[in-house]
Chain A
């Protein structure tokens, strides 16, 4: 009997029939796009670094394989399982994040990476899904945590400690992303919208402080405000590539951008896609993220557990916002953030961490008896 048959009562077939197959499809599609774009973009970068031509492609394939396993394994978890896994991950990621301040390798003026057994890991990436799920858990609790503390306050303290370390690294892009996603979850949890009047000025002050205290942030914002500056080289090249690509693109492998940008295979992979496959690729990629985000939100509406709802919301905001910021940088809409494009950009940490997020997300959006109020 077919393992995926609806009548089959195995773990796999139950998973297959309860998981959000559209969302899963989008994630697979994006990872395939990542491999295709990696084939185009990374040989040029590998040549520049004196590495074997398909060095990055092979590693990407390896990580996509690992990621697929992680996605399936994580999505098999029950909501309780997800919560436990998130707490555990938060502890490990938090400790690792702390370790970057001491053991971290300085790259381009920031300590964001630690080396574990020959692999370089960026703990902030793993922190994001864990923090979102934990925040959702804390905010959805009605009883006090540890007998006296309010869940939201505790979540806020959690955010503060994570953001504190990130600022020390410094990693302003991740800081903004995590803070924004946390605020997003807070609003999802139902606080009155007037609270925006409190958080908006805090965010504003934070950005202004970063501008005046961190030179590289100031540089990026200056470059964004005055695109004619040399510091804006990568973004100008990315925009040229988008113009070059036009509607249908210049064709596979025909793009020039990958040869001119050192980060073509990571932060600017979207621009490579735009040049080679044009507006069509842009529509497909943006469309896939949109389907993933909107479907997850729609499915979460029908959950009866507010933890599930907030966790889905938090995870989706992190993935969606990071995707938006990366693509917006390539299109010259926001200052350079140094963020990868989820599922597509080259990078082991990025892919594996995104796999955890996706796995958690798919686990939370699975249909379960009794958990889907309106539909069950």
Chain B
């Protein structure tokens, strides 16, 4: 140490002169230190990916699932970023304490199981998904090492239960479980496609359909219901409803009834609405004309079965009247007239024998007859022996409405690109429409009409096959319609399952009493939305309207 002091002392004068140079050296060193700080900070700041502190990277979702919108761009399903809480047990200092604290924030978590998870050898454990900002703040306040948040997208359906059966829902990891979310899953998670997925639905019409259906179910104490609105020119589905419905934002596990998409996944023997097809086949095959007389005086017996009329007229009817009064006897005679082969071939063309090509995995396969004898041909003429989905039935009515072209129904905006197939001649289609108009003007479907718009349609009251065969108590009452009557474009189908009559219907629960009024309400609500102008016949307005039209 003495030597050190001596050498320092000897150098005193030299040292003095070195100070400025040493100050520059020190300044240089500090320069380097500060540059190093800036360099390191820049390196970190410019990292785009979050830092890797655990093996959780593969589980992270960085791009949101695409939105689903209706035909005018109204958002039906969207994804919002939320924090999800996970733990890396390697960092957890005291699993029991950590589990206890987390249990304080999430009371539904089992602290024992959580502690076991946090003590495990895994490097990634979900604690809770999709936290609210309040919960996130509470977890922050715990200052727990080893638990972190990751941004996850949660699927939100801003309209609640609206169109829930069409949209479907996703699981916690964002995989589609039902509806469009399932069938279009690949496209919805496709990062190369930007912008939302546009459906053919129109929320305003969807809302009208759902509220009218819910009202009808309530009014007639029905068990369930279905509703479909199609554009017969494009095949687009404007509305599709199943009741009871559910809110995918608040899943209720185990309530399968609500999640069931009745118009698509349910198949029913729909009854007399099939007379539309029966009449069309008879006219198209020229085995009948609309004014041809048909004997409906007494029931027909085929094998062990006796075919009777519900609204029995017990006289000779024209083909139009068979339709108007929904005569099973008359329909059977027409069917026996064109025969089994034509029936099968046309049912095939109407798309009643196969699964609907709608963009939903839930679409059910129809239950077709095992053996197709005369009795099958007879019962099929009035809608028994073949179970189809309500959507499928509405699809099959499209050719009658649009002048003979089969359009496959689609839930995507713009419909199908494939060329439509001709199923009926325009003449046949027109004659069937005239018969359908008569049903509403003067037949079983009077309650479906809307003044100034005009509705055409057909009732269908079917008895549901139960364990003890067909039962009168459990009915499927439905009404298929098209409007406006002058130039029909839109197909509406409303189905009520097990409706009960009430005071206003004098206890009746048949289609004309329960389903037809719902169609009327629906058409009243939809017409203004669809821009349909009411037209009143001359005798009601004293010829003024026509005069105005002429001036214009």
- Interface residues of chain A, those whose CB is within 8 Å of chain B, are 47-48, 142, 150, 152-153, 184, 187-192, 228-230, 233, 236, 239-240, 242-247, 256, 259-262, 274, 278-279, 282-283, 286, 289-290, 293-294, 297-298, 300-302, 306, 309-310, 313, 316-317, 320, 324, 327-328, 331-333
In the complex, residue of chain B having the shortest beta-carbon distance to the beta carbon of A249: B45
Q: What's the nearest-Cβ distance from chain A to residue B486, in Å? A: 61
> Is there an interface contact between B45 and A283, defined as CB atoms closer than 8 Å?
no
- Expressed in whole angstroms, the Cα–Cα distance for A282 and B92 within the complex equals 32
Q: What residues on A are CB-neighbors of B24 within 8 Å?
A: 297, 301
Given known contacts A286-B38, A294-B27, A313-B23, A260 and B143 CB-to-CB distance under 8 angstroms: yes
Task: Tell me the bound Cα distance from A187 to B18 in angstroms.
Answer: 10
Contact A320 B30, CB 8 Å, known A306-B19, A331-B41? yes
Q: Is the CB of A242 within 8 A of B45?
A: yes
Nearest-CB residue, chain A, relative to B91: A230
Provide the bound-state CA to CA distance between A192 and B19, in Å. Answer: 11
How far, in Å, is B54 (CB) from chain A's closest CB? Answer: 9
Q: How far is the CA of A300 from the CA of B42 in the complex (A)?
A: 31
Considering only CB atoms and an 8 Å cut-off, how many residues of chain B contact the other chain?
46
B20 at the interface (CB under 8 A from A): yes
A245 contact set on B, CB distance < 8 A: 45
Report whether A243 and B53 are in contact in the complex, using a CB–CB cutoff of 8 Å: no
CB pair B44 A187 closer than 8 Å: no
19 further interface pairs, Cβ-Cβ under 8 Å (given A293-B27, A298-B23, A324-B37): A142-B12, A150-B5, A152-B5, A153-B1, A153-B5, A184-B26, A189-B15, A190-B22, A192-B11, A230-B145, A233-B145, A233-B146, A240-B50, A259-B140, A261-B143, A293-B34, A301-B23, A320-B33, A331-B44
Given the interface pairs A190-B15, A260-B143, the reply to whether A290 lies near B31 with Cβ below 8 Å is yes
Shortest CB-to-CB span from B20 to chain A, Å, is 4
Chain A residues with Cβ under 8 A from B17's Cβ?
Answer: 190
Task: Show 22 residue pairs from A and B whose CB-CB distance is below 8 angstroms, ordered by the A residue.
Answer: A48-B143, A150-B9, A189-B19, A191-B11, A228-B90, A242-B44, A243-B51, A259-B140, A260-B140, A279-B41, A279-B46, A282-B38, A283-B38, A290-B34, A293-B34, A294-B30, A300-B23, A301-B24, A310-B19, A328-B40, A331-B37, A331-B44
A188 with B42: CB separation less than 8 A: no
Question: B339-379 vs A: 1/0 string, CB under 8 Å?
Answer: 00000000000000000000000000000000000000000
Q: Does B141 contact A (CB under 8 A)?
A: yes
Set of chain A residues within 8 Å of B26, measured between Cβ atoms: 184, 187-188, 297, 313, 316-317
Q: Which of A240, A261, A297, A302 has the most CB of B within 10 A?
A: A297
Q: Report the Cα distance A51→B541, complex, angstroms.
A: 79
Given A152-B8, A184-B26, A259-B53 contact (CB < 8 Å): no
Question: Contacts of B41 on A, CB cut-off 8 Å?
Answer: 242, 274, 279, 282-283, 286, 331
List residues of chain B with CB under 8 Å of any chain A CB: 1, 5, 8-9, 11-12, 14-20, 22-27, 30-31, 33-34, 36-38, 40-42, 44-47, 50-51, 53, 90-93, 137, 140-141, 143, 145-146
* Bound: A320/B36 CA distance, A: 14
Contact B37 A328, beta carbon cutoff 8 Å: yes
Known: A228-B53, A233-B91. A324 touches B33 (CB 8 A): yes
Evaluate contact between A190 and B38: CB separation under 8 angstroms: no
Instruction: Report yes or no: B50 in contact with A243, Cβ–Cβ below 8 A.
Output: yes
CB of A294 within 8 A of CB of B31, answer yes
Closest to A184 in B: B26
Q: Which residue of A lies closest to B146 (CB)?
A: A230
Listed from nearest, the 8 A-B pairs whose CB atoms lie closest are A190-B15, A190-B18, A233-B145, A259-B140, A297-B27, A279-B45, A230-B91, A301-B20
One of A236, A246, A262 near B143 (C-beta < 8 A): A262
Contact of A236 with B53 at beta-carbon distance under 8 Å, contacts A274-B45, A328-B37 already known: yes
Known contacts being A188-B23, A239-B51, A310-B19, is A259 close to B141, with CB within 8 Å? yes
CA distance A190 to B17 in the complex (A): 8
- Closest A residue to B19 by beta carbon equals A309
**From residue B46, how far is it (CB to closest CB) to chain A in Å?**
7
Inside 8 A of B143's CB, which chain A residues have their CB? Answer: 48, 260-262
In whole angstroms, what is the CA distance A244 to B45 when docked?
Answer: 8
Query: Nearest chain-A residue to B1 (Cβ)?
Result: A153
Q: Which residue of A lies closest to B53 (CB)?
A: A236
Bound complex: CA A260 to CA B38 (Å): 25
B13 and chain A: residue at smallest CB distance? A142
Q: With both chains docked as a complex, state the minimum distance between the C-beta of B36 and any C-beta of chain A, in angstroms.
A: 7
B27's partner among A192, A262, A298 (CB-CB below 8 A) is A298
Q: Find the B residue at minimum CB distance from A245.
A: B45
A290 to B38, CA, bound (A): 11
Q: What's the minimum C-beta distance from A298 to chain B, rounded to whole angstroms? A: 7
Residues on B with beta carbons closer than 8 Å to the beta carbon of A316: 26, 30
Smallest CB gap from B49: residue in A:
A243
Question: Which residues of the other chain, A, contact B33 by a CB distance below 8 angstroms?
Answer: 320, 324
Expressed in whole angstroms, the Cα–Cα distance for A306 and B145 within the complex equals 51
Closest chain B residue to A301, Cβ basis: B20
**Complex contacts, B53 vs chain A, CB 8 Å:** 228, 236, 240
Given contacts A190-B11, A230-B146, contact A246 B51 (CB under 8 A): no
CA of A279 to CA of B43, assembled, Å: 10
Chain A residues whose C-beta falls within 8 Å of the C-beta of B19 in the assembled complex: 188-190, 306, 309-310
Q: Are B27 and A243 in contact (CB under 8 A)?
A: no
Contact A306 B40, beta carbon cutoff 8 Å:
no
A187 adjacent to B22 (CB under 8 Å): yes
Within 8 Å CB of B23, what residues of A?
Answer: 188, 297-298, 300-301, 309, 313
- Considering the chains assembled together, what is the distance between the CA atoms of A301 and B24 in angstroms? 8
- Choose one: B14, B22, B45, B91; the contact of A278 (CB below 8 Å): B45
B144 to chain A, nearest CB (A): 9
Q: With contacts A230-B91, A230-B93, A260-B143 known, is A150 near B8, CB below 8 A?
A: yes
Q: Which of A290, A298, A333: most chain B Cβ within 10 A?
A: A290
Q: Which residues of B contact A236 (CB under 8 A)?
A: 51, 53
> Would you give the shortest CB distance from B360 to chain A, in whole angstroms?
41
Residues of A within 8 A of B36 (CB): 328, 333
Report chain A residues within 8 Å CB of B146. Answer: 230, 233
Distance of A196 Cα from B44 Cα, bound (Å): 33
Nearest CB of chain A from residue B18's CB, rounded to whole Å: 4
| B11 lies within 8 A of A259 (CB) | no
A290 to B23 Cα, complex, angstroms: 14
Residue numbers in A under 8 Å from B93 (CB-CB): 230
Measured CA separation A294–B45 after assembly (Å) = 26
Closest chain A residue, CB of each to CB of B27: A297
User: In the complex, what residues of B have CB within 8 A of residue A244's CB?
Assistant: 50
Cα of A224 to Cα of B257 in the assembled complex, Å: 58
The answer to whether A247 and B27 touch across the interface, beta carbons within 8 angstroms, is no
> Closest residue of chain B to A188, judged by CB?
B22
Q: Which residues of B contact A317 (CB under 8 A)?
A: 26
